[in-house]
């Protein structure tokens, strides 16, 4: 996990519509950047729907929510449409940004060890500096925790 107080790594990735987004375009806004393992899984869906529910309040505070996983643009599009997600989902199948933000880790599941995205959420301030970093995120609580931090 990256340290609080460090500059957030720049990125440029396609969203669920295939349009490119970079961290620079959010300069002057707080960015809730959350990394999640996979579209359409129970935990990831719960977290995404939580952010969707609170999204108007994030917007009121001048903050943006951006989700990143290694899923494809097409997978993100289906996920967005199925749950009516109002925010940007970025596709990082090459793991460039996932690794830059230090969220690609060894995971143990039922005794089996594999590499994967560790659910992590960063709050990046208006100047591109990491203000808060949370790992071992609880999917149901994370959206409201982040909204409190944005205030």
**Catalytically annotated residue among 44, 124, 130, 137:** 44
- Contact indicator for 92, 67 with CB cutoff of 8 Å: no
Tell me, yes or no, if 44 is annotated catalytic: yes
C-alpha–C-alpha distance, residues 8 and 49, integer Å: 25
**Tokens at 7, concatenated:** 């500059």
Q: Which helix (H) or strand (E) holds 76?
A: helix 73-83
Output phi, psi for 64, to 5 deg.
Answer: -115, 150
Which DSSP category does 112 fall into? E
Q: Which residues are catalytic?
A: 44
């Amino acid at each position: 996990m990256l340290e609080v107080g460090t500059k957030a790594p720049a990125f440029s990735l396609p969203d669920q519509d295939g349009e490119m987004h970079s961290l620079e375009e959010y300069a002057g806004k707080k960015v809730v950047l959350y990394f999640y393992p996979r579209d359409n899984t129970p935990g990831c869906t719960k977290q995404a729907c939580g952010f969707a529910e609170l999204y108007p309040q994030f917007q009121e505070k001048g903050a943006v929510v951006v989700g990143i996983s290694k899923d494809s643009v097409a997978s993100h599009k289906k996920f967005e449409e199925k749950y009516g997600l109002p925010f940007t989902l970025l596709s990082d199948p090459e793991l460039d940004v996932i690794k830059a933000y230090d969220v690609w880790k060894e995971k143990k599941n039922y005794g089996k060890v594999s590499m994967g995205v560790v659910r992590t959420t960063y709050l990046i301030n208006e100047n591109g500096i990491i203000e808060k970093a949370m790992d071992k995120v609880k999917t149901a609580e994370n959206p409201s925790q982040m909204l409190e931090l944005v205030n």
